[in-house]
């Protein structure tokens, strides 16, 4: 099921759908919107993907398939635990930033109790990610550099949540931080925001009350 042949046309449709879903939400985007933007006939979406719902499903699988691999590679690098954590944060942010809207969609559209099948794929991904994080933290704890009373499953919400909330309030932060161009905004994420998250997680992991 997670193997779907993706020809060029399909990928083109997926990318347009990603952009529109991200801009206007899943419900807010019509198949006619997608067809117009992708310059295809409205019947092609059903023809290729079966339905709008399964288009979303395909999109999510298409965009998340390599994240797991990258995380596992990170685990095997020869780095200090804190550097692994920092790299993991960078990896997340980079991944989300590069893949435009899909992660936004996943967080906003995949909470409903419908879309269960799509949600299952997402749950497996999150479980794997959590396992990777756990192994890094445990390593640090055994080395005596990380605290032992930290709740590991709550670390991801802090990393991703901080990023998403910033992204979510893009217009607000552009205004108060004077990020007048897209380049300035992206640069701020890559430098200040990333550093803030790394600093936060480090403090949480090593700070003793």
Partner DNA sequence: TACAAAATTAAACAAGTGTTTAATTTAAAC
Partner DNA sequence: GTTTAAATTAAACACTTGTTTAATTTTGTA
Chain residues binding DNA by CB under 7 A are 7, 9, 29-33, 40-47, 50-53
Question: Is residue 134 within the footprint of its own copies (CB under 8 A)?
Answer: no
- Which of its own copies, DNA, none does 45 bind, CB closer than 5 to 8 A by kind? DNA
Question: Is residue 28 within the footprint of its own copies (CB under 8 A)?
Answer: yes
Window contacting its own copies (CB under 8 A); options: 33-41, 43-51, 73-81, 105-113: 105-113
Q: Which residues contact 63 (CB under 8 A, 6 or more apart)?
A: 18, 99, 102, 103
Asked if 45 and 54 touch (Cβ cutoff 8 Å), the reply is no
State the binding string over 110-129 for its own copies (x if CB under 8 A, else -). -xxx-----x---x--xx--
- Can you spell out the DSSP letters for 66-122? THHHHHHHHHHS---HHHHHHHHHHHHHHHHHHTTTHHHHHHHHSSSSS-HHHHHHH
Coil, strand or helix: which one is 15?
helix
Q: Write down the least CB distance from residue 91 to DNA, Å.
A: 33
* CB closer to its own copies, 70 vs 162: 162
Residues forming contacts to its own copies in the complex (CB under 8 A) are: 23-25, 27-28, 107-109, 111-113, 119, 123, 126-127, 130, 151, 153-154, 156-158, 160-166, 168-173, 175-177, 192-193, 196-197, 199-200, 202-204, 206-207, 209
């Amino acid at each position: 099921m997670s193997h779907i042949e993706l020809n060029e046309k399909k990928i083109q449709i997926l990318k347009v759908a990603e952009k529109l879903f991200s801009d206007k939400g899943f419900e807010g985007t019509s198949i006619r919107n997608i067809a117009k933007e992708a310059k295809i006939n409205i019947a092609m979406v059903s023809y290729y993907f079966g339905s709008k719902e399964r288009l979303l499903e395909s999109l999510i699988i298409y965009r998340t398939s390599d994240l797991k691999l990258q995380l596992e590679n990170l685990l095997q690098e020869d780095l200090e635990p804190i550097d692994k954590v920092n790299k993991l944060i960078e990896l997340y942010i980079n991944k989300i930033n590069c893949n435009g809207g899909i992660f936004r969609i996943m967080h906003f559209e995949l909470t409903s109790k419908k879309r269960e099948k799509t949600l299952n794929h997402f749950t497996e991904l999150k479980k794997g990610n959590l396992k990777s994080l756990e192994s890094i933290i445990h390593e640090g704890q055994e080395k005596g550099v990380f605290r032992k009373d930290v709740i590991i499953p709550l670390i991801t919400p802090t990393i991703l949540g901080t990023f998403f909330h910033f992204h979510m309030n893009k217009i607000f932060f552009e205004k108060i931080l004077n990020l007048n161009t897209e380049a300035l905004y992206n640069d701020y994420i890559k430098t200040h925001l990333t550093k803030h998250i790394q600093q936060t997680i480090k403090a949480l992991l090593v700070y003793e009350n």
